[in-house]
Amino acid sequence: MEKYHLKVEKREATGKGAARKLRASGLVPGVVYGKNIEAKPVIVNPQDLANKFSSNIIFDLEIAGEDKLTAMIKEVKKDPITGVIEHIDFLHITMDEKIVVTVPLVLVGDAPGVKAGGVLQQLLREIEVQCLPLDIPENIEVDISGLEIGSSISVSDIETGDKLEVVTAPEEVIATVTVPADITEEETGEGEEESAEPEVIGEEAEEAAEE
């Protein structure tokens, strides 16, 4: 995982009014916080971030008049209607201390169960791992080439190497291949038809018993 340089400004004025003025000018209020440092309000130009809004990207933050800080994006708050960025939280980290991060899961390979008519369902799309900042992977590949109909892959089945410690519960199911719903319904319907013969009651039941 490489590091990116990001220059931010000190934010002297705080409060909703000051934040609105910043956003109106195309800038975004933010804050840098973490262990052993005092929270630092900052101003971020979202154009400088480009497409680097992932929570797993490491930044060298340059704040005017201060030492650089190594940080990662902890949270990006957006307007729920317009999608405009309203605030960015940066978490200060140290390169020699492990942190817990969320990493996407990518399914690779062809499942035999799908070729046999089954339906592949991915139930878990990311997991939490603990590692050093520079060991954070972009994603973790999950091989599904052994999945038959009715089988599944859990967190405990994937290999992450020695540098990653998986935090997510091992019994969590990542992917499974199921029988198509239409086939299941057809089988259920056939079973109902077979058991749908009318019962013999009353006099007919007595005659049947005598016979």
Give 95-128 pLDDT, tens digit per residue.
999 999 999 999 999 999 999 999 999 999 999 9
Q: Which domains does the chain have, with CATH numbers?
A: 3-92 (2.40.240.10), 99-194 (2.170.120.20)
Lowest mean pLDDT among 113-122, 165-174, 199-208: 199-208
| Closest to 40 measured CA to CA, from 15, 12, 17 | 12
Residue 197 has pLDDT above 80, yes or no: no
Mean pLDDT of the chain: 85
Confidence of residue 209 (pLDDT cuts 50, 70, 90): very low
Residue 201 has pLDDT above 60, yes or no: no
Q: What residues have CB less than 8 Å from 185, skipping those under 6 apart?
A: none
At 26-81, the pLDDT tens digits run 899 999 999 888 999 999 998 888 777 776 889 999 987 787 899 999 999 988 99
Q: Tokens for 41?
A: 């309000």
Confidence of residue 155 (pLDDT cuts 50, 70, 90): very high
Please tell me the predicted confidence (pLDDT) of residue 101: 93
